[in-house]
Structure 1
Amino acid sequence: MNCDRFQQSFAVDPSLSGKLFDLLEITFPGLSSLAECGRKLGASWEAASTPFIYFHEGIAISHVGVVEIPFYIMGKRVTVGGIHAVATRPEFRRKGYYRAVMNEVLEYCDKLYETLVLSTSQPEFYLPFGFRVVAEHIFKVQCNSTGSTDGWRQLDLTTDKDLRLLHRLLETRVPVSNVVGVVQEKAVFFVNEGSRPLYYAADLDAIACMEIEDTRLHLFDIVSTNIHPLSEILVRIPQFIEEVVIYFSPELLNTENVQAFPGVIEETVLMVRGKFAAEKEKFMLPRSARC
């Protein structure tokens, strides 16, 4: 193993993106399409992520990416480093390449951030580097909502009007929770949510990341300059809803009888390195902000 440094630059090397995604598709099939969706929506992977890549004979064999995310944690704005898209080609695993890249990433990040986060289904890969699993919760509310108006329409992000609307609200949004929330972030949001349905209520000037399963509403994020009560969200859904499952701390939704349960989202756990003031609280990092 040579002693080359691993930090790369998409701006300096235009061919770097293709080499990287050739690697990432092996570990994360379909990620190239999600990244392309983000580019089309106006927030490119290449502009947001700092790549650390180990090359062997011109081929990218191991990568760790760093993206900067503005969080709100316990009501305080904190700039956090997000570790993402960690991948090594199968034939080069268990040879020290990932460790070498990660050690340089941590040396880089420790100069910039007091807190690093990542989400993963394989926490054992990160425990040796000082990351720890932080427990998360989902929140459930029982209700009997029939809705009185059809107040949510699905955004069409192929139109300039709806795309401008989404950019405006992402730029001006308040955190969905003051326990753990995110503001003024686009690239991670677009990768996670850009290919999923997004719904807009004009009178609330709010975008909801939500899904309805039979009589259950799954609420993943709200992008707005004001977080409205849950009752205002429900009244604009013209069908019977008997349970709401919320994937973020719901203290701003002004609703009662909320039950919290330990849980995960998409089979991933949240891992943290460094300070994290909300560690003992009941919360979940929204799906839209997970990297």
Structure 2
Amino acid sequence: MNQYRFKRSFSADSNLSNKLFDLVEVVFPGLGELTECGRKLGASWEDASTPFIRFHDDIAVTHVGVLEIPMQIMGQAVTVGGVHGVCTRSEFRRRGYYREVIEEVLQYCDKRYQTLVLTTPNPDFYTPFGFRKLEEYVFKIRWDSQSSRDGFRILNFDDAKDLKLLHRLLETRTPVSNIVGVVKEKAVFCFNEGSRPLYYAEDLDLIACMEIEDTKLHLFDIVATQICSLKEIIDRIPQTIEEVTIYFSPELLDAGDIRAFPHLFDETVLMVRGKFAAEGEKFMLPRSARC
């Protein structure tokens, strides 16, 4: 048995990459499709993640990955370490492999980041290693709009122009919130959002990560060089909107009477280790940045 120690990228080692994704696909079926989607969008897991892998007879049995996420937290630029892809083959669990790997990960990260984040449905796996749970919130507002003009189109990533547009806005985006927002990050965004419809408003030069359910708008993220008002977004949706749920701090949306509610996003808990200046504030880490 041997431990494969960290390497900034494994994109040049297809053998290693294949072994890792064999493991990931066994533990998280379907995840391979999402990683392939990010690859096609020019923001691959392999280029962004530092892998920590435990092998048994040349088979990858445990993995913990580390990504860098450039964020703005309470108005300050912070590069956060994102812990992701944590998994162990079922037949190799309860042998101490996860503890061995996560302890090496933390030694690596403590030299580089003041803050680590992760999202998980199993917080008890991480509390022994200094991670703590943070409460998150969704933000709701009643709305009264009639059918408006159709100001959005869905991006087509088979079109090189739309792909270039996505990269330009991700590289130059302003944080969606001054409380907790993300800047200049591609890999996590493309993994989380690249298989979903992304809506582009040309006159606003804005990408909206959103879903519409009957007359309810769910707004998950905005990628733009300048954040516009919520009204400007809704004015470009060609149907009646009666309620809006926002999955990030909405203070930049100029939207009036928005109410905050504690919320467990997709049954996952946000956990942090180290400093986190927004602790105690009402916020949510956007879906596009969750790892």
TM tier, smaller: over 0.9
| Residue of structure 2 equivalent to 1:272 | 272
Q: Which amino acid aligns with 1:238?
A: P
Give the partner amino acid of 2:231. S
In the alignment, what sits opposite 1:214? 214
8 Å Cα contact 1:146-1:237 kept in structure 2 = no
TM-score (norm 1): 0.98
Letter in 1 for 2:129: F
Mapped to 2, the partners of 1:100 and 1:211 lie a distance apart of 41
Aligned to 1:43: 43
Q: d(CA) in 1 for partners of 2:2 and 2:203?
A: 58
Counterpart code for 1:6: R
Aligned equivalents of 2:173 and 2:204: distance in 1? 13
CA distance in 2: counterparts of 1:220 and 1:179, whole angstroms: 15
Shift of 1:166: 0.6
CA distance in 2, matches of 1:25, 1:160: 29
Show the counterpart of 1:92.
92
| Cα contact 1:216–1:243 (8 A) shared by 2 | yes
For residues 1-291 of structure 1, what are the structure 2 equivalents within 5 Å?
4=3, 6-8=5-7, 10-11=10-11, 13-291=13-291
| Deviation of the 1:48 alpha carbon | 0.1
SS at match of 1:29: coil
Return the offset for 1:3. 7.0
Cα distance in 1 for partners of 2:3, 2:230 equals 53
State the Cα distance separating 1:12 from its structure 2 match: 5.8
Q: Which digits, 9 at most, give the CA deviation of each residue in 1:87-133, with x for residues without a partner?
A: 00001111100000000000000000000000011111001100000
Q: In structure 1, how many angstroms separate the alpha carbons of the residues matched to 2:239 and 2:178?
A: 30
Change (3 A) 1:12 1:236: closer
Alignment deviations for residues 131-155 of structure 1 (CA, whole Å, 9 cap, x no partner): 0000000000101111421101111
Equivalent AA in structure 1 for residue 5 of structure 2: F
Alignment check: 8 A CA contact 2:2 2:56 kept: no
Q: Distance in 2 between matches of 1:285 and 1:240?
A: 28
Whole-Å separation in 1 of the counterparts to 2:65 and 2:162: 30
1:52-98 Cα distance to aligned partner (Å, 9 max, x none):
00000000000000000101000000000000000000011111000
Instruction: Using the TM superposition, give the Cα deviation of residue 157 of structure 1 relative to its aligned residue in structure 2, in angstroms.
Output: 1.1
Query: Over residues 147-169 of structure 1, what are the superposed CA-to-partner deviations in whole Å (9 max), with x where a residue is unaligned?
Result: 42110111111111111111110
Q: What amino acid does structure 2 have at the position aligned with 1:216?
A: K
Structure 2 spans left out of the alignment, 5+ residues: none
Moved more, 22-31 or 227-236: 22-31
Query: Aligned-pair distance for 1:198?
Result: 0.3
**For the Cα contact (< 8 Å) 1:6–1:101, is it kept in 2?**
no
Q: CA deviation at 1:13?
A: 3.1
Deviation, structure 1 residue 271 = 0.3
C-alpha separation in 2, matches of 1:101 and 1:195: 30
Q: Alpha carbons of 1:50 and 1:259: their partners in 2 closer, same or farther (altered >3 Å)?
A: same
CA distance in 2, matches of 1:146, 1:269: 36
Q: Percent identity?
A: 68
Answer yes or no: is the 8 Å Cα contact 2:176–2:222 preserved in 1: yes
Shift of residue 238, structure 1, vs aligned partner: 1.3
Counting matched residue pairs gives 290
The superposition leaves residues 210-234 of structure 1 with CA deviations (integer Å, 9 ceiling, x where unpaired) of 0000110000000000000000001
AA aligned opposite 1:209:
C
Structure 1, unaligned runs of 5 or more: none
2:125 aligned partner, one-letter code:
F
| Structure-2 separation of matches of 1:12 and 1:188 | 20
Question: How far has the Cα of 1:5 moved from its partner?
Answer: 5.5
SS in 1 for 2:14: coil
